[in-house]
Structure 1
């Protein structure tokens, strides 16, 4: 099926920028879209909740003024702890956000409202079972969060998950998991995905709402410095060891927690992401902080070079 026409406007690369808690803000989203990729942010990043209307108004206005800007997306967490969901979705409908990215529970109640104004819904999944539930809910695309992705991530190899889902689904797929350069974007397409889904690489940008110590930790870390644990939110995720140690915890001895412990809407929930830094296993390939537009231009050059090299390979 490929990329939907409504999301294929002015794309310089087949990339959706992952919505990162705290990190993704209007400055970053606007820079991403103006660079030619789909920018996104979690609705919960706009605090207090009344700020979301201002963010959406600003993003729409600035992108409308640029005829070359790509579409944008908003992430909605579907979980009982998210007391803002109804409020935030009403604003997304009001502003006709082109793409809604949903996480955790299947977006059965959200899809009809988004489709009513012509928007699309993509859902995060880490398994075939989650994909089937999302498709039953009527989503327009799947985001496969595979092993090595930053934040909440699954454990399946992208080769395994893409292959199994492509056996029964021919719609849009975005692939996540340690994608930090143009070569990896091309590889995602070669494996059967329509989009690469990139998060961690954009933490190391000037526009990202991350403290300088966090950005430096991204530059200083490699895959061995990433810990996979459910301790901080109740859902397994990848975090930088350095930040866990700084919080006075032992990365090798973190207790188990379950989903009932999640609280995305409260200050205590935000602290996990503020002080305990999420990152994917691709950090070892990130060496400098760039402006988002400069980063996207570099990704585009790497992508083109990789495609040329592959086409010139006799095999």
Structure 2
């Protein structure tokens, strides 16, 4: 079973947890901090402005984690790049080539079928996890040969699914014996433990990692998460055409009315993945900020060291080992 392959690095994990890959949030500092604390660090490759920068990120992260291992004698948790496999990613082939050179232990694919990249990634020794938002998507990914499935459930930040996590996990576990990762609403160690009881091998934590000192998020985004709760999260298709969880206060700050947004994908606020705005109008992800239902659990901006230590204590208190 694919889940057996987790044993190759399970003893390197402080928690069965992935720091979720987040656009414009997950960068070098967050990856280094997560991995050296025993949390799988994941980042979208498109967070790098170019394939050359992606190469540089890998080189720097790997070097810093080796230094950590040499100093402490403890091997870091795996680094896990997130590859956007949709045709809109013009750098897919080039980014894939970088991954194949660096041979990451885990890779997450998103927004499309993983079929074109599965064989080369498997040949390089990677465990391939695939984002899915419906049971049909999960079935197709399993049939394609995915080692694991990241279940995007109601409550996940950014582009997400709508299914209840209890129903989704149990339905997928009925036909899939590989790795299952629960994404959506995990805000503390007790929730992470509950995901394991439900039948998941790993959990995603995204929103709370946005509000860390090491994340690349705008400081106003971090403070907005502290000041908000789950009632401030809006599920909308207005910005991306897909169901996306956004912070209402950021929508208001951009001069829009959360309760009166146009139809699916009608707001064109910048479809480019360039971080820099070409105009002064609001840009998706730069000015309209994501957050999940776990926003209610964000009480302060803290260092990753402290967040992991707190989550580990909560996990153990709940019965996790």
Which TM-score band applies after superposition, normalised by the shorter structure? over 0.9
**Offset of 1:80 from its aligned partner?**
1.9
**TM-score when normalising by structure 2:** 0.91
Alignment partners' CA distance in 2, 1:93 and 1:32: 22
Superposition pairs of residues 128-139 of structure 1, within 5 angstroms: 128-139=135-146
Q: What does residue 207 of structure 1 align with?
A: 214
Query: What secondary structure is seen at the aligned counterpart in 2 of 1:111?
Result: helix
**Offset of 1:63 from its aligned partner?**
1.7
Q: What does residue 52 of structure 1 align with?
A: 54
For the 8 Å contact 1:81–1:265, the answer to whether it is kept is no
**Offset of 1:21 from its aligned partner?**
0.2
CA RMSD of aligned residues (A): 2.0
Q: What does residue 197 of structure 2 align with?
A: 190
Q: What does residue 293 of structure 2 align with?
A: 281
For the 8 Å contact 2:271–2:284, the answer to whether it is kept is no
**TM-score when normalising by structure 1:** 0.93
Alignment partners' CA distance in 2, 1:57 and 1:266: 22
2:292 is aligned with 1:254: no
- Name which of structure 1's ranges 263-272 and 234-243 shifts more when overlaid on structure 2: 263-272
**Offset of 1:244 from its aligned partner?**
0.4
Superposition pairs of residues 225-264 of structure 1, within 5 angstroms: 225-257=232-264, 263=271
**Offset of 1:49 from its aligned partner?**
3.3
Q: What does residue 284 of structure 2 align with?
A: 272
Q: What does residue 107 of structure 2 align with?
A: 100
- Name which of structure 1's ranges 30-39 and 65-74 shifts more when overlaid on structure 2: 65-74
What stretches of structure 1 of length at least 5 have no aligned partner?
none
Q: What does residue 219 of structure 1 align with?
A: 226
Query: What secondary structure is seen at the aligned counterpart in 1 of 2:181?
Result: strand
Relative to structure 1, the CA distance from residue 112 to residue 81 in structure 2 (aligned partners, 3 Å threshold; closer, same or farther) is same
Q: What does residue 29 of structure 1 align with?
A: 31
Relative to structure 1, the CA distance from residue 265 to residue 216 in structure 2 (aligned partners, 3 Å threshold; closer, same or farther) is closer
Query: What secondary structure is seen at the aligned counterpart in 1 of 2:195?
Result: helix
Of 128, 131, 134, which aligns to 1:124? 131
Q: What does residue 119 of structure 2 align with?
A: 112
- Name which of structure 1's ranges 99-108 and 63-72 shifts more when overlaid on structure 2: 63-72
Q: What does residue 298 of structure 1 align with?
A: 310
Of 65, 83, 91, which aligns to 2:90? 83
Query: What secondary structure is seen at the aligned counterpart in 1 of 2:149?
Result: strand
**Offset of 1:232 from its aligned partner?**
1.4
Q: What does residue 141 of structure 1 align with?
A: 148
**Offset of 1:6 from its aligned partner?**
3.6
Q: What does residue 10 of structure 1 align with?
A: 12
For the 8 Å contact 1:15–1:198, the answer to whether it is kept is yes
Alignment partners' CA distance in 1, 2:274 and 2:192: 35
For the 8 Å contact 2:83–2:110, the answer to whether it is kept is yes
Alignment partners' CA distance in 1, 2:250 and 2:212: 19
**Offset of 1:48 from its aligned partner?**
3.2
For the 8 Å contact 1:82–1:263, the answer to whether it is kept is no
Alignment partners' CA distance in 2, 1:211 and 1:79: 27
Alignment partners' CA distance in 1, 2:202 and 2:232: 27
1:251-296 Cα distance to aligned partner (Å, 9 max, x none): 112122359x894645579931111100001111110111101110
What stretches of structure 2 of length at least 5 have no aligned partner?
none
Alignment partners' CA distance in 1, 2:236 and 2:9: 34
2:53 is aligned with 1:41: no
